[in-house]
Structure formats: C-alpha cells, structure tokens
Amino acid sequence: MSALLCLIAGVVSCYVIVYYCVIRGASCSSSVKLKGRTAIVTGSNTGIGKTTALDLAKRGARVILACRNKEKAEAAAFDIRRFSSGVTAHSPSINVLQESGNNQVVFMQLDLASFKSVRSFAENFLKTEPRLDILINNAGVMGPGRTEDGFGLAFGVNHLGHFLLTNLLLERLQQCGPSRVVNVAALLHRCGTIDFPLLASKKDLVSGQSAWHNFRAYCNSKLCNVLFTRELANRLEGTSVTCYSLHPGVIYTELCRSMSLWLQLLMIPLSKLFFLDLEAGSQTTLHCALQQGIEPLSGRYFSNCTLQQVGAKGRDDALAKKLWEVSERLTSVS
C-alpha cells in the first residue's frame, strides 16, 4: 500500500510540475494603463476573447465587443462592466475573474462570415468612434459550412473576414498611432497549406466537409493568419502601426462546439488536466497588445509571451504577398 501511495504521490507531483512549468506558461507582465484608448476584440462574447476584453477594460480602455451574437455579446458586456463586488457574474465563465467596473464596454454587431456585415461594422465604427489603438482579431471557427459569400467557413471567417476588417480600419489605426494589430493564430499553422488553384475552383483551401477536412481547413486558416501578419508588417514598415501573430496555447473553448458529442466527451477530462484556462490562454494576446519594446518585432509570431519561430511556410514572403493579393481580390479591397 505504501508503495502505491508513493507512486500516486510521484505521479501527482510530476503532473503539478509539468502543468506549472510547461502547460500553464508565462503571464503578461505589462502594467500599461489604457485610459483614453480604444480597443476592438472580435469574438469577445466568450472564451479567451472575453477574458482579453476584460483585462483591457480593467486597464481603462474603451472596449468594443465585435461579435455576431447580440444576446451573448450584450451579456458579456454586462459582465465586464460590473464592479468587483463579489456578486456572481452573468456568465459562469467569468466567475473566477474580477470584473472591471469600466462602463466603456460596448457591443457592436459583426459577422465575419459576411463581407456586408464587416463593411457595415467598419462604417459604423468609423462614424461613431474617434479612436482605434488596438485591434485584436481573435474570433475563430472550426467546422463545416460556407460563409454568406460562398467561401469555406474557416477560411472565410478566420482569414478573409479579419483581412477585410483590418484593411477597412487601417487608416484609423495609423491616425492614432502608435497602435497595434494582433492576430490570434495557432501552433497548427505548421500543418497548414495554401492551394491557390483549389481556392480558385472551390472558394476554399480544402476539397470537402468531413471532420478531417474541417481540421485541415482550420490549420490552413491559421497559416493564413501568420502570413497575413507578415505581409501586413512589410506594408506598414515605417508607420506607427505594428502587428503580431500568436499561439494562445491549447485551450478548451467554444471553438470545439462543432465536434461530435463523443469527441467532446473525450475532450472534457483531457481539457481539465492539460489545457489552459481562459485567463492563461489570453496572456500571449495581451502581451502582443500591450508589451512595450516589441515594436521592432512587428510581423513576428509569439507563444507563451515570447518570440517564437514559425513554420517554414509561415516565413515565405512570396507566399505571404500572393495571399495578400488574392485576398484583396476576393474581398474587393481597393
């Protein structure tokens, strides 16, 4: 029995060490205050987007929750605006966090699966908001389906929607510089590919809608995020706008809601043991948005709040330039 207890204690100790030294990772150390500044966070009604928005609000920023679902986004804005009072928040996902007490947190409708919606959001924002200091392209999807404009869902939302949004807001970002664009990518960009002939014929970077195709589509869209950031940095060189892409860590969020039920049940115990919580998962995003001194690293890729090397395809400047030119044509950005 004593040997068994020693074995259990050893396993638990090893897990604790691995979790806190390897899995949990670093925290954003920036103490920057954001009073008088404005940030947009896409997909911020839930998950790490909501946690990121909460942190920005605590720092005094005016935070725009750019989301598709009005009901969920307004509930998230309500949560974030509330003072730290010990009162249970509206959403269970935020109970463990202090609430900001910042009333400058507002919802604006944005459906990244619709170019019309993206243009409407940008037009509304530019008419009503005089500043934009931080744009965090956080929203992401994995699953089957097509966008309103006929593109594969992951490619259309994760890349094209954010590409169009960023370009429509770029002039305002330049006017308010120094400002930043943060693109939430993923380590899975290393598994991504970009097949331009397939994109031309299928309006997608994969040829089917199976679970495997959906996974591949997500990887491909994350490679697009990395390449978009790289080319954006090249085009912004010499301006007051910098941009970064990042891997937030492995987090069990609503991104997994499109998985089959048995896969979701399998993921629950694994997520409890090995995945980051939402607060930990937002740290690299916050680092890229706030950390002073990283401006010379514009266009680069971060993970665990540190600079990391991207996969070989993510370093291909010719591929990044071609993706930009194709994306301009597909979104009709002049």
* CA-closest candidate to residue 295, choices 248, 215, 250, 238: 238
The DSSP code for 256 is G
The 3-class secondary structure across 116-159, one letter per residue, is HHHHHHHHHHHHHCCCCCEEEECCCCCCCCECCCCCEHHHHHHH
Sign of the torsion formed by the C-alpha atoms of 122, 123, 125 and 126: positive
User: Residue 72 CB: number of other CB atoms within 10 A?
Assistant: 18
The residues assigned a catalytic role are 218
SS3 at position 42 = strand
Q: In angstroms, rounded to a whole number, what is the distance separating the alpha carbons of residues 163 and 139? A: 12
Residues 6+ apart with CB under 8 A from 120: 109
Label residues 87-106 b or e (16+ Cβ within 10 Å = b): eebbbebbeebebbebebbe
Q: In angstroms, rounded to a whole number, what is the distance separating the alpha carbons of residues 102 and 108? A: 17
Residues 6+ apart with CB under 8 A from 248: 48, 184, 186, 276, 281, 282, 284, 285
Q: In angstroms, rounded to a whole number, what is the distance separating the alpha carbons of residues 251 and 189? A: 16
Q: In angstroms, rounded to a whole number, what is the distance separating the alpha carbons of residues 153 and 158? A: 8
Identity of residue 201: S
